[in-house]
Structure 1
Amino acid sequence: MRILRAADRKASPWKNGGGVTWEVAASPAGAPLDDFEWRVSLAEVASPGPFSRFPGIDRILTVIRGQGLSLAVEGLGATALGASSAPYAFPGDIAATAALSDGPIRDLNVMTRRGRWAAQVRRMSGPVAPKLTAETVILVALTPLDVGDAHLSPEDAILFEGAVPPPIGEGAFVLVELHRA
């Protein structure tokens, strides 16, 4: 179990230069944007525009803060996403454009290399003792949250690799389960 504090993350520009992202975790650690197996990050979407394209990557986007956005994905139409919407999966190698509902949003973005990794992303609330089968699990706190003896602030995360997570206290979080394909 490794705690990943939001305060320790460094901002970096989006691949297309249109915004800012903060990497929560990636495999392999420190991999560049064109060579990761999986990547979990937070992003600030402050203006409408296109999403970066990632050939061979599947994406799952979860709005965690703000009034929401409409995400138009080529061939799939537009989908309204807000801070209580289910995570939304789409191919990262086709055109996608966001229009903001009312001001900036923050999202959790999970990207996996197609054919090698797959992800399941769920919004959850505690208290709970989740039963997990994935070899890699990332929990991202949306509210203050106690996980075993660890106290998380919003956007702090915990990476579990092959470990059984301790009981999770009262609060909201996003759970990312990563499986080899």
Structure 2
Amino acid sequence: MKLIRFADLTPKPWKNGGGTTTEIAVSPEGAGFDDFDWRLSVAEVASDGPFSLFPGIDRTLTVIEGEGLVMTVEGRGMVTLTAASTPLSFPGDVPVSASLAEGPIRDFNVMTRRGRFGHQVTRHDLAAGRLALPQGDLRLVVALGAGSIRHDRTTIEFAFGDVVIFETNDAGSIEGALPALLVTLTRKAL
């Protein structure tokens, strides 16, 4: 189990230069935009515009703060995401543009290299009950509020945006009293 404090991370420019992103974790460690297997980040979106293209990448975007984002994904049409919406998955190699519904938003982004890793992102309110950790190479819990979670005999205090990474041998369930995202990353057989 590994804890990443969002407040300790540094924002970087987007691939297309149109905003900033805060990388939470990447594999392999130190990988750039063109050679990662998977990448987790939070973006600050303050203006309308196109998304960066990521050939060979599958993405899932979740609005975590703000009034919403209206996305146009080639081949799918228009989708509105809010801080209560189901995360939206789409290929990183198709054109996507977005406009703000009403003011800036913050989003959580998961990207995996197609053929190497797959991923799933789901929203949970841990106050509603225990959450069993699913099977996967890595399972990550992203805090969407401040509070604590418990895993086995360990209690972890979270601030908004903090992430705990559970590896394959970390079994069991978690409980707490805050909203969270569960990200499951699974290595694909080569």
With structure 2 as the length reference, what TM-score do the two structures score?
0.92
Q: Bigger CA drift: 56-65 or 137-146?
A: 137-146
Relative to structure 1, the CA distance from residue 75 to residue 129 in structure 2 (aligned partners, 3 Å threshold; closer, same or farther) is closer
Match of 2:9 in 1: 9
SS of structure 2 residue aligned to 1:179:
strand
Q: Tell me, yes or no, if the aligned pair for 1:38 and 1:117 is still in contact at 8 Å.
A: yes
- The CA deviation at 1:116 is 1.2
Going from structure 1 to structure 2, the CA distance change for 1:178 and 1:47 (only over 3 Å counts) comes to: same
Give the share of equivalent positions with the same residue, in percent. 48
Q: What residue identity is the alignment partner of 1:51?
A: F
User: Aligned pair count?
Assistant: 181
Shift in CA distance, 26/66, structure 1 to aligned 2, threshold 3 Å: same
The C-alpha deviation readout for 1:21-66, integer Å capped at 9, x for no partner, is: 0011111112101100000100011000000000100000000000
RMSD, matched Cα: 1.1
Which one is further off, 139-148 or 150-159? 139-148
Correspondence for 2:181: 174
* Contact 1:123-1:175 at 8 Å conserved across structures: yes
Q: 5+ residue gaps in structure 2?
A: none
Query: Residue 132 of structure 1: SS of its match in structure 2?
Result: coil
Q: Distance in 1 between matches of 2:133 and 2:165?
A: 15
Distance 1:47 1:14 in 2: 13
SS of the equivalent of 1:90 reads strand
Corresponding position of 1:134: 136
Cross-structure match for 1:86: 86
TM-score scaled by length of structure 1:
0.97
Whole-Å separation in 1 of the counterparts to 2:81 and 2:133: 27
Equivalent-residue separation in structure 2 for 1:22 and 1:90 (angstroms): 20
